[in-house]
Chains A and B, each alone.
Chain A
Amino acid sequence: MKKRCYFILTALLVLISACAAIQISSFDRGTYEHLTFLKAQMSELYSNYTQIGIQISKIRKMQILLEQYAEYEKWKPHNTETYKQFQLIEDMFNRHLRERLDSKNPWSKSYTEHKLSMINNLINISIKTELHKNRGC
C-alpha cells in the first residue's frame, strides 16, 4: 500500500513538472496594435530622410516608443522571440538613423524606399510571429 502511494505521488509530481515545462506563448492584441502602429509611423518618419533637415523631435519620439514597446514585451512570460524581434527593429531603426545623420546629403527617394521596405519587412515578420501564437479560448 505504502509502495503504491509512493508511486502515485511520484507520477503526480512528474505530471506537474511536465505541465509546468510546457511554455505556450499567447497572442496579444496590444503587441499586434503596437506593430501595426509602428509600421504606419515608420513610413511617415522615413519620408523625412529625403529632406535636408531632420526633425529630431519626431525621431526622439520614435526612439522612446520603440524602447517602451520593447519594455512591454520584455516582461511578458514565454515571450523571448517577440522581445528579441522588437530589439532587432530598434537596432535597425537606429542603424538607419546613424547612417542618415552621417550622410552629408539627404537620402534619395529610391534609397529611402529601399530602407523603409527593409524595416517594414522586419515588422511584418514580427506581426506574422504574433499572429501565429495561440489565441486561447
Chain B
Amino acid sequence: MIIKLSSTIKELLGSEDPFLQKCGNDLKRATINLKHKTITEKEFISDVADIKDLVTAKLLEESVKHKALLEKAAHILENIAVEGITGIIESISL
C-alpha cells in the first residue's frame, strides 16, 4: 500500500493537469504532516477520504481527462480510508 501511495502521489504531481497536481499536493502535504506528527492519523484518514471524494466526483464529469490515473488514485485512497495505515507512513519517502 505504501509503495502504491508513494507512486500515486508522484504520478499525480507529474501530470500536467492542474486538478491532479492539486490532489497530489494535498496528499503529499497530508502524508508529510502525518510523518511529522503535525496531524493525527484520524485527520490524515479524513484528508484521504476528502481527496478520494474529489477524485470520485471528477470521474463523474463528462469526458474526463486522465481517467485511468484518477481511477487508480480513487482505488488506492479508498483502501487507505477504509483500512487505515497504522505505522506504515513512517517509511514513506517523498
A interface with B by C-beta (< 8 Å): 80-82, 84-85, 88, 91-92, 95-96, 99, 111, 115, 118, 121-122, 125-126, 128-129, 132-133
Contacts and interface: CB of A to CB of B under 8 A. Distances in A.
Contacts of B56: 84, 88
A92 B50 contact: yes
Interface in B18-64: 42-43, 46-47, 49-51, 53-54, 56-58, 60-62
Interface of B: 42-43, 46-47, 49-51, 53-54, 56-58, 60-62
7 contacts: A81-B62, A82-B60, A96-B46, A115-B50, A122-B54, A122-B57, A126-B57
Q: DSSP class of A's interface residues: helix, strand, loop or mixed?
A: helix
A118 B54 contact: yes
Given A95-B46, A95-B49, A99-B46, A85 B54 contact: no
B29 to A, nearest CB: 9
Contacts of A115: 50
Contacts of B43: 99, 111
* The 3 residue pairs across chains A and B that have the minimum distance between CB atoms: A81-B60, A118-B50, A125-B57
Given A95-B46, A99-B46, A88 B61 contact: no
